[in-house]
Amino acid sequence: MTNSQSDLSKKIEAFLKKDFKAAFGKLREKFETNPSWQKFRQLGSELWLDTGSITDAEKYWTQEFSALTTNNTLLNREVQTGCYDSLIRDIDKLFAEYHLDEKQRKLEFAFVLNAYHGLRLVEKFDAYVSVEEHTDLAHDVDAAVECARRYYAICPERFIIKIPFTPAGLLVTRKLSAERIPVNHTLGFSARQNYIIARLAKPKYVNVFLGRLNSFVKSNNLGDGSYVGEKATLASQAAVKKLRQDNLTHSRQIGASFRAGGQVRDLAGIDVMTIPPKVAGDFLSLEVAPDQITDKTAADYVVGVNKDVDIDAAGLNTLWEVPDQLTACFDALENENIDSFTPNDLIDFFLRHGCGDMLIRWKREQIETSTAEGKIPKLDNWRDVLAAKCIGLDSLMNLAGMCSFAADQKAMDDRVKEVLTKAAGK
């Protein structure tokens, strides 16, 4: 970091903290309690709300909730409402004396908006808050590490840094975990992905975006999709728990991308649930009595996939299996100087050890196809490479997640430009 960059970073931190009034550990009694949510806590499940909206969070926040998680999509929704137009103009004034190129300005605007919004959530709820980096940093180890350090310095008491599952992201999280910076390693879709993340990078949290898995099956007419994501989440929970027991990680499993209240009931006992407000309301409307909420971590759910579907060819087995070949790959990896690896080194190592469908060098046309598809891939576009084991379904879902986040990030970047253009009278 240059002297100019360091000076800007200090000014940004001062700007963000100027009106920030924390009440760490003093707000809990301000909120109501709920016996159903209490039961989840008794079963060992942390409860988070999956929203960046203060208004939505206020409806469902109780003493049992401990964190809020935002992402590029959720923050973009807030920015698009216009609530931060004045802040954007103030940030622009802050940057005026610095000669930032277009890329630097884009990254710094995103940083300040994420951090400012995160601090508002901390201030209102005394919540731990997951803050996310700009998607342009997903493949840049050094820049992503530096950005995470800056986030953490702003609110070490409550900020958790979100890093996406990419080859570079694994190395970023490994470095941050070594510095004891808490990381929510996001965009995981399978037990085997989280085995990699937990064992290699050792973040505080790993994820399964379970709702998107169910939607993939249903959208591609492979079945109704029921319990696909739940099965993957429970398999990942078991794998991560075993790694903890073997002292190979301290990571905890998050169930993310809930779509219905019944899923909350059916995953009781997993380490963490990050629940959208709408789904929290849906669960409460089921009126499940606390004594009917039981630990489901040993459940063996039957997935809603048509009988004529070849689960292996469609790649569905990659969601819940942790093959011996992957374990052997890691045993070999631990004999290497991992901290000297580049993202390409990591990809090459997995390829040489028979796990090349997990860390992918995506081709430009593949990225373009995924971007056009949105969050849920269209199987017909990927059937051959999935059947040939060139990529895993979990890897494909990860690409779709990255592309959709990048699209939402661009929408937020464009909103910033729009506000500044109007302010300049152009």
Residue with tokens 């739940």: 230
Residue 341 has pLDDT above 90, yes or no: yes
Q: What is the DSSP string of 113-162?
A: HHHHHHHHHHHHH--EEEEE--GGGTT-HHHHHHHHHHHHHH-TTTEEEE
Q: Write out pLDDT tens, residues 51-66.
A: 989 999 999 999 999 9
Report the first-to-last Cα separation within the chain, whole angstroms: 34
Q: Write out pLDDT tens, residues 94-103.
A: 999 898 999 9
- Cβ atoms of 129 and 160 closer than 8 Å: yes
Residue 3 has pLDDT above 80, yes or no: no
Judged by DSSP in three states, 224 sits in: coil
For residue 252, give the nearest of 35, 67, 34 by alpha carbon.
Answer: 67
* Residues 278/283/286/289 CA torsion (nearest 10 deg): -150
| Residue 67 within a domain | yes
255: which residues sit within 8 A by CB, 6+ positions away?
207, 208, 210, 233, 263, 267, 270, 272, 273, 274
For residue 190, give the nearest of 369, 357, 373 by alpha carbon.
Answer: 357
Q: Write out pLDDT tens, residues 202-251.
A: 999 999 999 999 999 999 999 999 999 999 999 999 999 999 999 999 99
| Residue 1 within a domain | no
| Residue 2 within a domain | no
| Residue 3 within a domain | no
The boundaries of the domain holding residue 396 are 8-423
| Residue 34 within a domain | yes
Q: State the amino acid at position 245 in one-letter form.
A: Q
Question: Running DSSP on this structure, what letter comes out for residue 198?
Answer: I
In the predicted model, what is the mean pLDDT of the chain?
95
pLDDT confidence of residue 424: 84
Q: What is the DSSP string of 162-177?
A: EEESSHHHHHHHHHHH
| Residue 388 within a domain | yes
pLDDT confidence of residue 2: 65
Q: Is 32 left (phi over 0), alpha (psi -120 to 50) or beta?
A: beta
CATH, residue 319: 3.20.20.70
What is the percent of the chain where pLDDT is above 90? 91
Q: Write out pLDDT tens, residues 65-75.
A: 999 988 878 88
C-beta neighbour count of 332 within 10 angstroms: 12
Rounded distance between C-alpha atoms, residue 87 and residue 90, angstroms: 5
| Residue 402 within a domain | yes
Q: Write out pLDDT tens, residues 372-397.
A: 999 999 999 999 999 999 999 999 99
Partners of 186 in the beta sheet?
A: 164
| Residue 161 within a domain | yes
pLDDT confidence of residue 72: 79
Domains: count for the chain: 1
Residue 5 has pLDDT above 80, yes or no: no
